[in-house]
Amino acid sequence: MPRLGHFLYAALAVLLLGLGSIASAQLSEAQSDYYKEWLKTADRAEEVVKADRASNAAMDKLRSEISDYRDIFNKARKANTDRIKTLESQLDALGPKPEDGAEEPPDIAALRAHLEDQLDKLRVPRIIAEEAYNRANGLIGEIDRIIRDRQTKLLLERGPTPLNPLYWPEAWTDVKEAGQSLTNEIRTNFKTDIAQEQMRDRAPAILALVLVAIVLIWRGRRWSERVGDYLRALGGGGTGVWSFVVSLFRIVLPWFGVVALVAAVSLTGILGLRGTLLLEQIPLWAATILYFDWIGRQLYLIGEANRFQRLSAAQISELRVHIDLLAVMLVLHGMAVQFEQIENVSDATRAVVGFPLILATAVLLLRIRQIRQRDEPDDDADVRPSMRAAGFNQIVETIRRGLVILGLASPVLAMLGYSNAAEAIVYPTVKTLALIAALVIFQRFVGSVYGWITGKGEAARDSLFYVLVGFALALVALPIMAIYWGAREANLLELWSRLLQGFDIGGVTISPTNFLTFVAVFAIGYVLTRLVQGSLRSSLLPRTKIDPGGQNAIVAGTGYVGIFVAALVAITVAGFDLSSLAIVAGALSVGIGFGLQTIVSNFVSGIILLIERPISKGDWIDVNGMMGYVRDISVRSTRIETFDRTDVIVPNSDLISGVVTNYTRGNTVGRVIVPVGVAYGTDTRKVETILGEIANEHPMVLANPAPSVVFQGFGADSLDFEIRAILRDVNWVLSVKSDMNHEIYRRFSEEGIEIPFAQRDIWIRNPEAFGGAGPESKPETPPPSAPPSSEPAQMTEADLDADGEGDAR
């Protein structure tokens, strides 16, 4: 930033601070002092950034100071928002100032001046805070860029190759001298009177800590098993939950023993600077070894036993040994880093000391990969169903393979002299693989707990909850993984800070805070809406005289209104200002209207169905040849259950604009028609009497209006009658028709009344075509055509279609 700009900012601040009561706006004394301190810090930061000579630690410390200022300025630039809006609305109510030199009434002019003075007093601190916030933000960005460039330069820096034999004697000498220096330092301190006195005075505490350490390291695992026996008595046996808890105790108790032993050694006071620095790292190294051992036992013996069904016990033991050796490599790498920091060795020594560790780590990764490739089953879907159900299979496998490839490339980089790059690849690879394994193990544990609580058992690993747990764990692991691969905590905090500030879309600021507020308020409104709907459906509406269709319409309308109100309240509480999106929404609505006009039509039709209710839930309807019961009416479509027990989804617009037959609209009364034919010569009055008795005796037939028997006419083969009756429930029409047919057949059999069936005579015009006559056979003379009035008509395909069957003679 140019120096002229700095002077302008400072001059503006001094001018604002010095005007006092004369200026229309001013800062308070506390704000003035704080702003002066900020100006000093900002000027110092700009000098440091310009010089670019400070260490990374100094840069981080300066960045932390600027970040604290920035957080305060960020809050100050949003202060008094409601009050400023109130003053602006008051000024808007006064209207614009008169133009062309016209005078304003004195009262209004005084009120306007008073409001503008208050508004300026509130705006000045916000303007200064905005300027300071932007300046702090820019300085933080410059510091991050400098540190990032330094890290990149160090990562790509090429140093001495460890394969050069000339560097080996020097490296061996440096390592030997470091060991001798540490030993001499401890021996010298042990012989001093101060150390002897400290050990005598602290002997009880030291002895107690040593005993605690021995007991925890020696007996910790056995105690863990006893704790597991007690926990299993609480229930959940066979789920693996308590085994997982016991496995944690098996590493936590020994680790506390190591911490107690470290504390005992520290109390002796015999360690010098080198010993103290190494002693501080021992708890971390012990935790690494115990953590990797826990992963080996969980992943290959318990958690992932089904994945490696083809591995023998010896192979599993080998894999566990390799995992433990990876932990040892990480510990040795940590010792090498401490050695470099304490002794300040040369780059050649650093490369020679680090290369064996890099090579051994890469070989271990290759060995684990070879065992997996050789022994892993081919049928992944059969062997790992739970992993596939959880969605981790492909992701974990892809990441694992990529990381192993990177790990194998690190020795090549180290040979070429890129030791920093090699270390920045191979050790994060090991840590990342361990982190992924821990995520898979913990996901299985949470799935086991969920299966135990819900009673689903192993089936819980195929549920949506199991997938969501894996997704959440992956999100939690991302920052840890970023730190493994070189990201600074300050960068992650900066990213989180920017995320909390949100981003603008059309003038609407969306941040995690207001988004979570929106989700929480909307969820509460949604739950309340469902509770109200449930109360209406089960308690209130059944006590009224409203028909079921009207009850369903009220419940559905309550749901739509409740969800709309919940969304509106959530938007208001979250602080979303949607007025700025009105123009954009208006422009988009035109295109959406053309593109989604069918959906909009169905939506409007659904509203009409719920309000007008030409059909209701439970009605028996016939639409476009599809007959069934209405089971659900939504805003887009209606679900009809046919008599075949299949669901048909009908767009609402078809129900509004098309022809719909509703058999049960308003009531369930309907008519049944039962046709029957009797032979010619039967007493028609007797048939009419019998059919009337059958209709009146059925319990589903209404007496008023009374059923009727209609003599339809003279058919080709029978005298045709029909029973026409009104049923109290038309839904039973098929059953009533079947009952009447049974009764008709019984009564007609008792009374000797014949129910005829169609009979036809067939004349064959060319019988020789079917007789296989030879050349000397004479064709028979076809019979003369019979008069149509005296002989039966010839049967045609139309007759077959009409009667359904024929009697060939």
Residue type, 772: G
Last residue of a domain, one of 464, 497, 530: 497
What is the residue range of 697's domain?
670-751
Q: Do 25 and 60 belong together in one domain?
A: yes
Q: What is the C-alpha to C-alpha distance for residues 569 and 562, in angstroms, rounded to an integer?
A: 10
Q: Do 320 and 459 belong together in one domain?
A: yes
Last residue of a domain, one of 665, 681, 716: 665
- Our count of domains for the chain comes to 5
449 in a domain, yes or no?
Answer: yes
By residue count, the chain amounts to 809
615 in a domain, yes or no?
Answer: yes
What residues of the chain score a pLDDT lower than 70? 1-31, 100-101, 232-240, 300-313, 371-400, 403, 501-509, 549, 577-596, 768-809
Chain-centre distance for alpha carbon 673: 58
Q: Do 681 and 655 belong together in one domain?
A: no
Q: Do 301 and 444 belong together in one domain?
A: yes
191 in a domain, yes or no?
Answer: no
Are the CB atoms for 808 and 761 separated by under 8 Å?
Answer: no
Are the CB atoms for 352 and 162 separated by under 8 Å?
Answer: yes
Q: What is the C-alpha to C-alpha distance for residues 684 and 710, in angstroms, rounded to an integer?
A: 11
Q: What is the C-alpha to C-alpha distance for residues 639 and 647, in angstroms, rounded to an integer?
A: 6
Are the CB atoms for 209 and 263 separated by under 8 Å?
Answer: yes
Is the pTM above the cut of 0.95?
A: no
The CATH number assigned to the domain holding 583 equals 1.10.287
Q: What is the C-alpha to C-alpha distance for residues 540 and 632, in angstroms, rounded to an integer?
A: 20
Q: Do 115 and 148 belong together in one domain?
A: yes
658 in a domain, yes or no?
Answer: yes
Tokens of 730: 């038309």
Look at residue 3 and give its three-state secondary structure.
Answer: helix
Are the CB atoms for 708 and 674 separated by under 8 Å?
Answer: no
180 in a domain, yes or no?
Answer: no
Look at residue 631 and give its three-state secondary structure.
Answer: strand
Closest CA to 482 of 431, 423, 441, 442: 431
Q: What is the C-alpha to C-alpha distance for residues 513 and 72, in angstroms, rounded to an integer?
A: 18
List the beta strands (DSSP E) in 585-669.
620-623, 626-633, 637-642, 647-651, 660-662
Last residue of a domain, one of 463, 497, 531: 497
Q: Do 415 and 558 belong together in one domain?
A: no
The CATH number assigned to the domain holding 692 equals 3.30.70.100
pLDDT at 772: 52
493 in a domain, yes or no?
Answer: yes
Q: What is the C-alpha to C-alpha distance for residues 257 and 235, in angstroms, rounded to an integer?
A: 30
Q: What is the C-alpha to C-alpha distance for residues 548 and 531, in angstroms, rounded to an integer?
A: 19
Q: Where are the alpha helices (DSSP H) in 298-390?
A: 313-343, 347-375, 380-383, 385-390
pLDDT digits (tens, 9 = 90+) for 163-195: 988 988 888 988 888 888 888 888 888 888 887
Q: Do 741 and 612 belong together in one domain?
A: no
* Mean pLDDT, all residues of the chain: 78
Q: Do 511 and 589 belong together in one domain?
A: yes
Report CA-CA distances (Å) from 184 to 179, 320, 341, 536. 9, 38, 19, 86
pLDDT at 790: 40
pLDDT at 504: 64
Neighbour count for residue 222 (Cβ, 10 Å): 10
Q: Do 490 and 470 belong together in one domain?
A: yes
Write the DSSP symbol of residue 457: G
176 in a domain, yes or no?
Answer: no
Q: Do 449 and 303 belong together in one domain?
A: yes
181 in a domain, yes or no?
Answer: no
Q: Do 338 and 472 belong together in one domain?
A: yes
Are the CB atoms for 308 and 374 separated by under 8 Å?
Answer: no
Closest CA to 666 of 701, 631, 716, 615: 615
pLDDT at 722: 94
Q: Do 638 and 688 belong together in one domain?
A: no
Q: Is 372 exposed, middle or buried (0-12, 13-18, 19+ CB in 10 A)?
A: middle
Q: What is the C-alpha to C-alpha distance for residues 197 and 268, in angstroms, rounded to an integer?
A: 9
Look at residue 649 and give its three-state secondary structure.
Answer: strand
pLDDT at 496: 80
